[in-house]
Structure 1
């Protein structure tokens, strides 16, 4: 039931009103590169997503189905993760608790969001969830095949995203709470060592790319800390309601430890983003499912009419709370920007041969998934294309050359962040802003989700 529910919800509005945001655009355009071009890119940046890009390259080679093909692997992975949550819950607290835990996981707004995301996080969650199931079976049966499966699945999760390795700490804490035998500790230690050794090459390459990969992140602010502490508080309260047992000892560390460790590290080196440890939500779902199962048992003390009233009230409250969130995550407003809308605005405003500038340069991503449109415009700052430069957004010319090329143009289409966003202080970005302000006038401005398209022209050249 959880897996089928996840598939149904994942397929509902999977095109997200024909929208795509910048991270998904990266996946789309990188996955369409040749294997040689993809390998060259991973040597420069995004090695931590390399396995996912290879998977998506294969998906598009089999079926170039646009936004549906881009997001379908995440939808299927979410269904697998939901089945894993249900299986863990059923083994620890009974079939009803497992079903409820799986359904809670599926209904979480953050789960629904990443079930329709063209990135790796749902796949990581599926791998970590089934690795946790193998860990649970290994503790109980102490058989080598379960520990081998544990190592294999967790290594897969780490190669999809390196921060999946943080769940090892959570599992270690579970063993400590349960006072695992020396034999179980040895088996778990050997499996964990195998996982870490397997991902050493990725860790080495990823460490060299960390500044380029994560340089945009800031330290967690007060809002993130309050959100994390609220999640921890909910988990602890659920554990108090359930009492100390194997489920609480397994679920609470998975919920708290990966996110907590990443946030603590981010006080020194900013690395925390909620989606990097999305799999922690499986811990919350397990606790909530077991708590709901116990509440259903307590409900039998009431008269049938009272039980019906309580059940109806809870169902109505769940719909009232979850439906607006479910609708929101299937709309363009749920993401930072909308690449599709921005590209359509450029297509509407531009004439063949117009110059185009991206301010800042990383916003070139907004047109890279539309190569035919990008090719019709003169990219005034581009030195080498993304493929030739082995980068995501290409490299740009020196500032003075950019200035000369702008001055040689009559009309320039600019794709930039919305007003109020921080302006890059680099020389290339400064010269773009200064030259346009001094020698051009604004003919048209279209503000969209997360960005804007501005048409600049010399005096008298605004007319279409």
Structure 2
């Protein structure tokens, strides 16, 4: 993060040697009016807000992770606190926030997703602020807008999970980091530590942003004072995170045990984002775009270091999911915005008719590329399953006295948000419900007791994963499949997005 070297005359008229401003200092710009100063922050925020509100209900659908948020946030505080001691402590602060949201306004899917919409609008504003500080108002404005329209950003802006809020925390901590390293005072280091600590409490995998900021300091050749102050801020964040880290380590197997090692597609996507961003940064440096070096030294570590670190660790112990490092998209949007600003600045070389044609073609291409993606992320098919569709299908298929089996047991989350459907059925495998057992999905009967309960039912509904999905190897799950195969006849199978609702009857006892 290097500004241009300047020279000045002192009082005696001599010229001292070249003086390098602090590496985080922005390139001076002409005075700007209030609107021009506010535009890089306000315009991206408004764009992200509008995109987030567009189709926020996602055609009345909700997927399994959002279902967990909805269930847990509606529990009484005592039960919620008990749950966090057993599992999901990593999401504890977010669940408490959502509990407060629903206590104030139980607005269903809109209330579930509105905090994420606001979080992503705040993140877009932060991207604009960073871009404006490093490369000028136009670059900041365009970087914020690029961030707002990225399909993955639009997706998680409408997700009832913590990732949009984490992205906002990391993005604004990055802005505070810039201000702090520019020698603007201790208050910016305090703001940096607080913002990053909040982001880490919302999700611990915000912590790799510290690594990205450390790489930025090293790359920019920061002085000892800045490194020392950054280290103090890092220590404060780590110390504040220790209680959560101690609890979540004991929950790691249950929390992350479902993850696998990154596949080839994940590595290709990582390269597909990192390489073009590096090339854009190289272009900006080559054409001497204002603040290009500083932007490069901030953006590339933020895009590459957190994702690269988690993916490398995942070769040994799987920890990586792309949404865990969603905040890396800030590092993608910054060079893209600056490159657009440079390209727009060169359009004066074109004659007016050609300039108009070029702008129209560029706008048409952007809409043609982004609109299908934007429409898709607002459809039920953009997520792994649709809890609402499952509940409606069960409601249509169920009869009084029917039993229900969840295969596997964690698919109980498909019906838990809908007690008006779930309470009509006899949960054949349930030993203790989630609220009493301090778990997400409840605890189930032993295999021997489970067998007796299933065989006592004449008609039941099994909720299963789609065909081809791996089957859980646990004894209880094996027993469910074996008893249904040996003693029951399938009457009806309805496939909904991400699930199957199958009706079974006992052979020789009941008919379809």
Q: Give the TM-score band, short-chain normalised.
A: over 0.9
Residue 165 of structure 1 deviates from its aligned partner by 0.8
Partner of 1:97: 139
- Would you say 1:108 and 2:150 are equivalent positions? yes
Out of 441, 461, 464, which is 2:510 matched to? 461
- State the superposition RMSD in angstroms: 0.9
Separation (CA, whole Å) in 1 of partners of 2:104 and 2:413: 24
Indicate whether 1:269 and 2:317 are aligned.
yes
1:152 — aligned with what?
A: 194
| Alignment deviations for residues 328-347 of structure 1 (CA, whole Å, 9 cap, x no partner) | 00000000000000000000
Give 5+ residue unaligned stretches, structure 1: none
After TM superposition, give the deviation of residue 204 of structure 1 in Å: 1.0
Structure 1 Cα separation of the partners of residues 436 and 110 of structure 2: 29
Asked if 1:433 corresponds to 2:491, the answer is no
Alignment of 1:127-142 (within 5 A): 127-142=169-184
* Matched ranges for 1:217-296 at <5 A: 217-243=259-285, 245-296=293-344
Q: More displaced, 323-332 or 395-404? A: 395-404
Shift of 1:365: 0.7
The offset of 1:141, in angstroms, is 2.7
Query: 1:80-129 CA deviation, whole Å, 9 max, x = no partner?
Result: 00000001111111111111000000000000000000000000000111
The CA distance in 1 between the partners of 2:253 and 2:185, in whole Å, is 42
Q: Work out which of the two has the higher radius of gyration on C-alpha atoms and give 1 or 2.
A: 2
- For residues 150 and 453 of structure 1, the distance between their equivalents in structure 2, rounded to whole angstroms, comes to 49
Describe the SS at the equivalent of 2:60.
Answer: coil
Instruction: Check 1:142–1:418 CA distance in 2 against 1; reply closer, same or farther (3 A cut).
Output: same
Q: Secondary structure at the match of 2:462?
A: strand
Structure 1 position 360, deviation (Å): 0.7
**Displacement of 1:139:** 1.1
Deviation of 1:461 (Å) = 2.8
CA distance in 2, matches of 1:242, 1:353: 68
Match of 1:392 in 2: 440
Distance in 2, matches of 1:432 and 1:75, equals 41
Superposed displacement of residue 253, structure 1: 0.5
The match for 1:125 is 167
Distance 2:183 2:228 in 1: 14
Asked if 1:44 corresponds to 2:86, the answer is: yes
- The correspondence for 1:337, drawn from 385, 402, 419, is 385
Match of 1:206 in 2: 248
Of 367, 376, 396, which aligns to 1:328? 376
Q: How does 1:165-180 map to 2 (within 5 A)?
A: 165-180=207-222
Tell me the distance in 2 between the aligned counterparts of 1:308 and 1:256. Answer: 36
**Selected match of 1:359 from 407, 418, 434:** 407
Q: Hey, what does 2:50 align to over in structure 1? A: 8
Tell me: CA distance 1:6–1:79, structure 2 relative to 1, closer, same or farther (3 Å): same
TM-score by length of 2: 0.90
Shift of 1:142: 3.9
2:203 equivalent to 1:161: yes
Moved >3 Å (runs of 4+): none
Q: Tell me which residue corresponds to 1:88.
A: 130
SS in 2 for 1:453: strand
Supply the distance in 2 between the matched residues of 1:82 and 1:43 (Cα, whole angstroms).
34
Q: Indicate which of 407, 419, 428 corresponds to 1:371.
A: 419
How far apart in 2 are the matches of 1:291 and 1:57? 42
Equivalent position SS for 2:473: coil
Q: Give 1:373 shift.
A: 1.4
User: C-alpha displacement at 1:374, in angstroms?
Assistant: 1.1
2-side partners of 1:302 and 1:149: how far apart?
Answer: 45
TM-score by structure 1 length?
Answer: 0.99
Q: How big is the shift at 1:268?
A: 0.5
| Structure 2 portions without partners, runs of 5+ | 1-42, 286-291
Match of residue 30 from structure 2:
none
CA contact (8 A) 1:142 1:184 kept: no
**What is the alpha-carbon distance in structure 2 between the residues aligned to residue 24 and residue 352 of structure 1?**
29
Task: Tell me what 2:24 maps to.
Answer: none
Supply the distance in 1 between the matched residues of 2:300 and 2:362 (Cα, whole angstroms): 25
